[in-house]
Amino acid sequence: MTKNEKILLNAQEMDRALTRMAHEIIEHSKGIKDLAIIGIRTGGVYLAERLRQRIAAIEGVMLPFGILDINLYRDDWSRLTQHPIVRKTEIPFPVDQKDIILVDDVIYTGRTIRAALDALTDLGRPKRIQLAVLVDRGRRELPIQPDYVGLSIKTSSKEHVNVYLKEEGTPDCVVLTKNEN
């Protein structure tokens, strides 16, 4: 950890936040009928699976689960690379008339979620789409707000939030990094 980094959530705090979010999803949805969970590649996939496991522990039923790749739907991919890496979207159930919980690790500008909504609605017409994020760092460029949030923090454009997950080979934690530039 450098002097420019601060831990926002440790592993235990992440675990508590995800458990709370699972309870909120069940309560707000009035159960799990027609509910499905979809993670946005990559960090959202691992968090979606964790939420799915927590909901199953509470309700005794495993929700349908999918993985959404949004790279071709991003409005900034040409700024990031000349050749976007497109991975497979894996949603093994029809999204029509489902209540979808869309999961990502961090929401900032809202552009990733806009791309995810475009990608998801190309697959069908869900009854409802709700958004769950581990960290909401504010500073939206688009009018998109999450329904379920693990941690809300106001950041500046000179700060960055990284979510580290054990599934990626690092200890679970959320770190705020301040750029000196």
Task: Report pTM.
Answer: 0.92
Looking at residue 2, its pLDDT comes to 82
Tens-binned pLDDT, residue by residue, of the chain (181 aa)? 788 999 999 999 999 999 999 999 999 999 999 999 999 998 899 999 999 999 999 999 999 999 999 987 755 544 545 555 666 899 999 999 999 999 999 999 999 999 999 999 999 999 999 999 999 999 899 999 999 999 999 999 899 999 999 999 999 999 999 987 6
Question: What count of other Cβ atoms lies within 10 Å of the Cβ of residue 28?
Answer: 12
Looking at residue 58, its pLDDT comes to 97
> What is 6-37 written as a DSSP string?
EEEE-HHHHHHHHHHHHHHHHHHHTS-TTEEE
Number of structural domains (the chain) is 1
pLDDT digits (tens, 9 = 90+) for 91-100: 999 999 999 9
How many Cα atoms sit within 13 Å of 94 on the Cβ side?
A: 5
Q: How much is the mean pLDDT over the chain?
A: 92
127 inside domain: yes
Question: Which structural domain, as residue segments, surrounds residue 49?
Answer: 16-155
177 inside domain: no
178 inside domain: no
172 inside domain: no
5 inside domain: no
Q: Which of 171, 128, 131, 164 has its CA nearest to residue 148? A: 131
Looking at residue 78, its pLDDT comes to 46
Which CATH number fits the domain that encloses residue 87? Answer: 3.40.50.2020
